[in-house]
Amino acid sequence: MNTVITIIHVLACLVLIVVVLLQAGKGANMGAAFGGSSQTVFGSSGAGTFLGKMTAAIAIIFMLTSLVLTYSAARKGSSLFEGSRAPVTKQVTPAAPAQNAPTPAAIPDAAKQPAAPASK
C-alpha cells in the first residue's frame, strides 16, 4: 500500500511540474508574439481555466499523498529508536567462582608485587 502511494506521489510531482511550466505567465504577450497563439489548443476559453483547474487538482492529490506518507512514516517508527525505548528486562546473575581457580595463598609472592618501573 505504501509503495502504491509513493508511486502516485512521484507521478503527481512530475505532472505538477509539467502543468505549472505550461501555464502562461503575466508577461505572455511578448512570448505569444514569437511562438504564436497556442491557447487555441485548450478551447475557446483559453489555457487559463483548464490549466488552473488541472493545477489545483494535481496539487490536492500531491498534498493528500504527502500527508498519507507522513502519517504512515510516523506510525511505523524507526528501528534505531525501537531499541532505545525497550526497557532492560534481563537481569544478569553473578557467575559462580570457578573450581580450578587458584586461591590467593597459592600465588607466589613475586607475582603479587607490581613490576618495577623501567628506567631511562
- Cβ distance 23 to 59 under 8 Å? no
Q: Which residue has the higher pLDDT, 89 or 86?
A: 89
What's the total number of domains in the chain? 1
Tell whether 60 is covered by a domain. Answer: yes
**Element (DSSP H or E) covering residue 31:** helix 28-35
What global pTM score does this model have? 0.50
Nearest to 60 by CA among 23, 16, 94: 16
Helix 47-76 vs helix 2-22: angle between axes, to the nearest 10 degrees?
150
Tell whether 39 is covered by a domain. Answer: no
At 119, is the pLDDT very low, low, confident or very high (cuts 50, 70, 90)?
Answer: low
- Domain hosting 68: range is 1-13+44-76
**How many residues make up the chain in this entry?**
120
Q: What angle do CA 109, 112, 116 make, to 5 degrees?
A: 105
Give the chain's mean pLDDT.
75
